[in-house]
Structure 1
């Protein structure tokens, strides 16, 4: 019984695409994200719990940062628990989170700059705008990568279809 070389090549390509849920480097990066976000969240929660005399604006800012940290913890946990190939969808989720969180920072800095007239908040809003552009770029890149993988999957399915 002989195996068709074209079918064998397609099977190897499919195995290459779906070999691991996450590369070791990406896994280590998500573990580092999980640890950093956990450390940040614990410190922010401790600060909020032990310093009730902080001004309201400061408490609000710390609570927002705590929510962002907990969101990154949830994201990293989700990615690390996956036992199937993610095929780039985790990058779309991370890109969306980056856009939302950077947008919150930018909007807050812009609002504070408008209400106080402080040059510091205007400078922070400028940095936030730059970061927002980078976050959108990252999100677009993730969408393009997933679209490319989907095109490749459809092509492989098309090629395998008659052979199967």
Structure 2
């Protein structure tokens, strides 16, 4: 820190960012607890429903872990957080898309609307990952990393 003024690389996380990460942590944890409680209290669930509940619980825990990780950082993350969030979103889409594909195969049909929604979510997840990685690279380049 030259001259007592923090450089952007040394500036603390803003209150707005910390509150955002806290919201992600709480939403992920709340979703995981809610779905996990439903899963635990319904012993006679069909196998595909239990699998979906397990995946949703994992996704919620993933977001909670991400929020907790980001909150423990005291300095800006230079878009590393965006890259990690994009990977979590892509992984959640892959798991959900695989589940939809299995159900469609078992039922021998895939409603067009569902296919469009799953496809659109995949495009958004992939585009978000590309944008996050590009932004991260740009910031690293600007910092001389």
Name the TM-score, length of structure 2 as normaliser.
0.87
Q: 1:68 aligns with which of 59, 63, 66?
A: 59
Structure with greater Cα Rg: 1
Q: 1:82 aligns with which of 61, 65, 73?
A: 73
Q: Deviations over 1:4-52 (max 9, x none)?
A: xxx97xx96x7134312x3322222211111111111111111111110
Number of equivalences: 144
2:96 is aligned to 105
Q: 2:133 aligns with which of 129, 136, 143?
A: 143
Q: Which runs of 5+ in 1 are unaligned?
A: 1-6, 158-164
Name the TM-score, length of structure 1 as normaliser.
0.78
1:114 is aligned to 105
1:16 is aligned to 8
1:134 is aligned to 124
Please tell me whether the aligned partners of residues 106 and 125 of structure 1 are also in contact (alpha carbons under 8 angstroms).
no
Cα pair distance change 1:103/1:124, threshold 3 Å? same
Runs of 4+ in 1 over 6 A off after TM superposition: none
CA distance in 1, matches of 2:109, 2:141: 50
1:30 aligns with 2:42: no
Q: Which has the higher helix share?
A: 1
CA distance in 2, matches of 1:65, 1:125: 20
Please tell me whether the aligned partners of residues 110 and 125 of structure 1 are also in contact (alpha carbons under 8 angstroms).
no
Q: Which runs of 5+ in 2 are unaligned?
A: none
